[in-house]
Amino acid sequence: MSTFEIRSWWSLSYCQYVLNILCLLSNFLDERSNIIVFDTIYYDALFVLDGHTSFIKDLVITEDDKTLISTCEGGFVYVWDLMKPENNFQKEWQHRNSMYNKVLYDHENDLMYGCTGEKPLCIYNNLCKDKVAEFITENSENDTRAAVLSLKHQILFTGTHKGTIKVFLWPMNKENLEIEAKVGTVGTFTYKFPEFIEYNAHLSPVTYLELSSDGNYLFSGAADGSVFIFKVKFDYF
């Protein structure tokens, strides 16, 4: 057991397969926000990823444990190489007007999922560089703050501000999205909002979603302190 004394931290992520490291977000007032990488054998700080200039919202480690993706309140998405203690900064993009509440990454399909207050579904590929599609909602009850991917079941789960859980088919790449004519224009097309199933769950905003290690159970937490456990199935659609 080890104890870390950090003035303020927001989130953490753990490498499960290749590397024995723990990534911890450390957000400081009036200072740069850093990502501290620890080794999980002796729990020593290995190196610091310094780049974000605003509050870091979320991070995700790719399935091969080699790449870290982080996002902050400024709308920036950073891609880091965890195999390089130095010169680890790979790429930086600013997704304007997009403060992501949550980011996920599907290494197999090279797809990043992000959600903001007004955009419950934002899909990018090429390590977050190229936009596949963005879907906007005007209803604040659909504000999405939590999400998790089940690659085993090819499902995306999202939690809404009104407490429901939505189930989408995954992957949402160009081949699987349906095209429709854009309203008010001639010869212009856009992607149709993906089909989903919505389940009533919590009475307050869903703040956290996580899958069990075998992928067979979904855990959801809400702002009122309630926790639900769901059995994940293969035949939602």
Tell me the helix, strand and coil percentages in the chain, rounded to 5.
0, 50, 50
> What pLDDT shows up at residue 89?
61
**Is residue 34 in a domain?**
yes
pLDDT surpasses 70 at 179: yes
**Is residue 59 in a domain?**
yes
pLDDT surpasses 80 at 111: yes
> What pLDDT shows up at residue 126?
82
> What pLDDT shows up at residue 18?
40
Q: What is the model's pTM?
A: 0.77
Instruction: Report d(CA 115, CA 60) in Å as an integer.
Output: 14
**Is residue 109 in a domain?**
no
Between residues 188 and 145, the one the model is more confident about: 145
pLDDT surpasses 50 at 8: no
pLDDT surpasses 80 at 2: no
Averaged over 4-27, what is the pLDDT? Answer: 48
**Is residue 227 in a domain?**
no
Tell me the pLDDT band of 22, cut-offs 50, 70 and 90.
low
Provide the domain count of the chain: 1
Domain that holds residue 65: 1-100
Averaged over 12-27, what is the pLDDT? Answer: 48
CA angle (235, 227, 99) in 5-degree steps: 85
pLDDT surpasses 50 at 134: yes
> What pLDDT shows up at residue 201?
94
Tell me the pLDDT band of 147, cut-offs 50, 70 and 90.
very high
* Residues linked to residue 79 through DSSP beta bridges, in sequence order: 69, 91
pLDDT surpasses 50 at 28: no
pLDDT surpasses 90 at 23: no
**Is residue 23 in a domain?**
yes
Tell me the pLDDT band of 20, cut-offs 50, 70 and 90.
very low
**Is residue 38 in a domain?**
yes
**Is residue 117 in a domain?**
no
**Is residue 55 in a domain?**
yes
Q: The domain spanning residue 16 has which CATH number?
A: 2.40.128
Instruction: Report d(CA 79, CA 89) in Å as an integer.
Output: 7
**Cβ partners under 8 Å of residue 177, min gap 6:** 132, 133, 191, 192, 194
